[in-house]
Structure 1
Amino acid sequence: MSDLELRTLPTTDDPTPENIAWLQAVALGFHGQSLTDEQLKRWNSEAHRQGMRARGVYRSDLPEGAYPGPVGTFMSYDALVNTGGGHLETANLISDVTVRASHRRRGILRTMMTADLTEAHERGLAFASLTVTEAVIYGRFGFGVSSLHQHVELDVTHDFALRHQPTGHCEIVDARSEWVMDQRDALFRKTLERTRGAHDRQLFYRDRLSGAWDYDQGGENRKLRTVAHWSQAGELDGMATFEYGDWTDHELVINDLVALTPQAELALWDHLGHHDLVRKVTWRVANPHSPLRWALVDSRRLEVKGHRDCTWLRVLDPVRALSVRGWRDDGTVVIDVADDLGFAAGRFRITVEGGTASVERTHDEPDAHLGVQELGSLYFGVVEPSTLAAAGRVHGTPEAIARLDDLFEVDDQAFNNSHF
């Protein structure tokens, strides 16, 4: 790193030449096309309004003709995360992480990550979170898989049906009307408040889901359609945004589905599955705990094309993080947490009474030993301690692991469908 320098860039409403070079470096890092002036303006403006922190690693001597801008990029911002029990906690969300191929294995990612996590820890945040393109990079920085989703394909050819008649009614609505956009935002806010592991969305979701602006296309997306669901009581309780594929595939692709109740979700699936000229409905970010399979007359019509991790959680302050977690059962346990970066290292006594935990550092003998990466995976309940113990990643007596299972058990399954 002797010839490299880490800088933090101020974001402004109008992009500066330095901001433009940084954004183009992000596009390069994700193998995208060079950004247009309109893409640069929109991206930079939303980053500014979101309060994002842009970091870059720069060469001290730029060779003539070399691609301008940083050889490493890193963005973070503060947003709300549901920790269970209806509690929303501010977390440090990380995005736009790239390292140029010519400068790999120079410690660039570690430098950017350490600086960002240190700052977040100093600001008193309990954890950081990210979504990843590669699954083998971030464990070494203490991030653990914390939520999952599925890529599903539903066969809606002849005789597709649910076991029961959905309640309420669905209507196609104008995706670009301010009312629909406001209602979609309100529905998502309600699901954020109800769903353990849910993360708040970036500002670009509003325009992307309306079709007003699509960053990948660099303009409008006129193919997007939106359907809304009203309950029998007349409450708007669900929306799905979708588009039709080409005539060859006869596919309907869901871009987003937000429902406040299982009944609303099933009604939206039923509506989408009964479109003429459509043979299959696909969604890449489906909830693994959806009731859809069990509601189908023919359950084999739903095919899981793939399982994928969504969010990775990094605990920075175990006392705060565990104190604001929603707990189901009472109990007491002492855990010993290893953390190479030092933020979360130590022994902690967790005492839960009436769904609320008191957490304190202690020198008492621990019941279980684990790393901060494992603590991140246990936090939302996506995996049981006994499963990690069987995998050799949590250590303790069988009795202690059983008590950990009981304590970390959740009734509400974690899910997040907001990438960032």
Structure 2
Amino acid sequence: MSLEVRPVGESELGDWLRALKAGFLRPPVVTDEEVEQRLPQFDLSRTFGVFDRGRVVATFRSFTQDLSTVGGGSLVADAVSQVTVSPPHRRRGVLSRVMAGDLAAAKERGDAVASLIAAEYPIYGRYGFGPAAWTTEWSVDVTRAGLDPRRTGQPDDGGSIELSDGAEIRKIGPEVHRRMARVRAGVPNRDTQGWERSTGLGFQGEPWIEPFYAVYRSADGDVQGYVAYRSDDKWDDGKQPINTATVRDLIACTPAAERALWRYLCSLDWVTTVRSGLRGPDDVLPLLLPDPRAARVVSHADMLWVRVLDVAKVLQGRTYASSGSLVLELRDAAGLAGGRYRLDASPEGAECSRTTESADLALDIAELGTLSLGDESVVRLAELGRVEELTAGAAVRADVLLRAPRRPWCPDIF
């Protein structure tokens, strides 16, 4: 049976959205109003449908993304999203066909990497993607946290916290987010439509419930962070409040702002539990509490996957805390970024180019994606057999060179 792969036209977006919803096991109902609201979100030239006798049986979309890397720089990424294949058309190579075309186009454009959030773990490694950033969610039992019950929600560093609204967050949020991305790898940029959706404007995939917003300002009035959160309304049989505050978004560009916002959340009257939302695995939250055991991990999983398309751009686009050299032999079944490369790095900068020198390490391009944002250990990958150490001690040298001081964090699902 012949399947046609091509970008969708404007008149076909409704059918494409129905196929998308069906693929994610959501009711396949799309109204004309939804199509009209969502159309501005899509670059139709990069919104692909797979058609079987005129019917959309698979969906695939990509868009340009700026992804922060170690040291405050950014990489241009081909962000892959909304990938589905209808159940009757699975195991026919449909995704492989579309993915190959998209990655080739991204390589031709000069994108440094491709990125995605994987709904299922086993799928994307075969296309050269590796998990580069993980996420953790905590549930904090405020009654056990050991915080002084007499303290107010205001910080003790001379700064202040004030309630806000979505209109103000749309104004101040982008700059706080940009500043945060300069100190944390793995953060994708948010466009204007993203800020509008996160504050209740534009198309919403589910009924909008207005959150509470709180903003942290330093002693000199500089806005350094904000939090959006919701709370339920629960009381026990003894007329005691047992409410849960759930974080939807907490962005802080300084440690002071991050500490102050968590303490504010844990000081809310009637709130006995705080759910952190998706955070970096090394978030300060547990150790911020006098009793860190009050913060229980409720979720820990891979989040951001990276596929390296340009080795030199990825390795030259970040900073390094120490000096060193590595020669990497990279295997890439798709033929997009394989070969042997020499990296010479120092705190002053880095150079990376193809070489014929003997390799120190041999690895698949997917493993370089896993290492690209400074999170994973080369030594651990070598112990797993996923990196081959060709020069004694090269894995340790690579760890010293490549590991970042803070783990990467992707705060957004895209």
TM-score under structure 2 length normalisation: 0.91
For 2:24, the equivalent position in structure 1 comes to 30
Summarize the Cα distance change of 1:408–1:286 in structure 2 as closer, same or farther, 3 Å threshold: same
Summarize the Cα distance change of 1:300–1:351 in structure 2 as closer, same or farther, 3 Å threshold: same
Q: Does the CA contact (< 8 Å) of 1:166 and 1:266 recur in 2?
A: no
For 2:161, the equivalent position in structure 1 comes to 170
Runs (4+) off by over 3 Å: 162-166
Amino acid aligned to 2:76:
T
In 2, Cα distance between the equivalents of 1:358 and 1:21? 47
2:174 to 164, 167, 185: 185
Residue aligned with 2:330, SS: strand
For 2:262, the equivalent position in structure 1 comes to 269
Summarize the Cα distance change of 1:155–1:99 in structure 2 as closer, same or farther, 3 Å threshold: same
2:412 to 392, 408, 418: 418
Amino acid aligned to 2:30:
L
Summarize the Cα distance change of 1:371–1:52 in structure 2 as closer, same or farther, 3 Å threshold: same
Residue aligned with 2:185, SS: coil
1:196 aligns with 2:182: no
Amino acid aligned to 1:38:
E
In 2, Cα distance between the equivalents of 1:9 and 1:36? 18
In 2, Cα distance between the equivalents of 1:107 and 1:79? 27
Summarize the Cα distance change of 1:289–1:158 in structure 2 as closer, same or farther, 3 Å threshold: closer
For 2:239, the equivalent position in structure 1 comes to none
Segments of structure 1 that go 5 or more residues without pairing to the other structure are: 11-15, 63-68
Q: 1:410 Cα shift?
A: 2.2
In 2, Cα distance between the equivalents of 1:351 and 1:57? 44
Summarize the Cα distance change of 1:124–1:247 in structure 2 as closer, same or farther, 3 Å threshold: same
State how 1:310-321 maps to structure 2 within 5 Å: 310-321=303-314
State how 1:274-353 maps to structure 2 within 5 Å: 274-353=267-346
C-alpha RMSD over aligned residues: 2.0
In 1, Cα distance between the equivalents of 2:262 and 2:45? 36
Deviations 1:46-101 (A, max 9, x none): 224xx871011111x35xxxxxx411110001111112222122111110000001
- Of 107-116 and 77-86, more deviation after overlay is shown by 77-86
Summarize the Cα distance change of 1:214–1:158 in structure 2 as closer, same or farther, 3 Å threshold: farther
State how 1:129-144 maps to structure 2 within 5 Å: 129-144=115-130
In 2, Cα distance between the equivalents of 1:145 and 1:85? 20
Q: Does the CA contact (< 8 Å) of 2:160 and 2:216 recur in 1?
A: yes
Residue aligned with 1:310, SS: strand
State how 1:47-62 maps to structure 2 within 5 Å: 47-48=42-43, 53-59=46-52, 61=53
Residue aligned with 1:84, SS: coil
2:225 to 238, 246, 262: 238
Q: 1:17 Cα shift?
A: 2.4
In 2, Cα distance between the equivalents of 1:37 and 1:103? 27
- Of 159-168 and 302-311, more deviation after overlay is shown by 159-168
Identity %: 31
For 1:208, the equivalent position in structure 2 comes to 197
Summarize the Cα distance change of 1:335–1:243 in structure 2 as closer, same or farther, 3 Å threshold: same
Summarize the Cα distance change of 1:151–1:412 in structure 2 as closer, same or farther, 3 Å threshold: closer
In 1, Cα distance between the equivalents of 2:24 and 2:329? 38
Q: Does the CA contact (< 8 Å) of 2:279 and 2:409 recur in 1?
A: no
Amino acid aligned to 1:190:
R
In 2, Cα distance between the equivalents of 1:162 and 1:70? 58
2:90 to 81, 92, 104: 104
1:46 to 41, 50, 57: 41
For 1:260, the equivalent position in structure 2 comes to 253
For 2:109, the equivalent position in structure 1 comes to 123
Q: 1:194 Cα shift?
A: 2.7
Amino acid aligned to 2:19:
A
In 2, Cα distance between the equivalents of 1:41 and 1:283? 34
Segments of structure 2 that go 5 or more residues without pairing to the other structure are: 236-241
Q: Does the CA contact (< 8 Å) of 2:145 and 2:294 recur in 1?
A: no
Q: Does the CA contact (< 8 Å) of 2:249 and 2:277 recur in 1?
A: no
TM-score under structure 1 length normalisation: 0.90
Deviations 1:122-154 (A, max 9, x none): 111111010111111000100001111101111
Deviations 1:146-185 (A, max 9, x none): 111101111123775179964222111122x2x3311112
Amino acid aligned to 1:230:
R
Q: Does the CA contact (< 8 Å) of 2:227 and 2:251 recur in 1?
A: yes
Q: Does the CA contact (< 8 Å) of 2:23 and 2:85 recur in 1?
A: yes
Q: 1:385 Cα shift?
A: 0.5
Q: Does the CA contact (< 8 Å) of 1:162 and 1:270 recur in 2?
A: no
In 2, Cα distance between the equivalents of 1:105 and 1:237? 48
Q: 1:387 Cα shift?
A: 0.9
Q: Does the CA contact (< 8 Å) of 1:145 and 1:377 recur in 2?
A: yes
Amino acid aligned to 1:409:
R
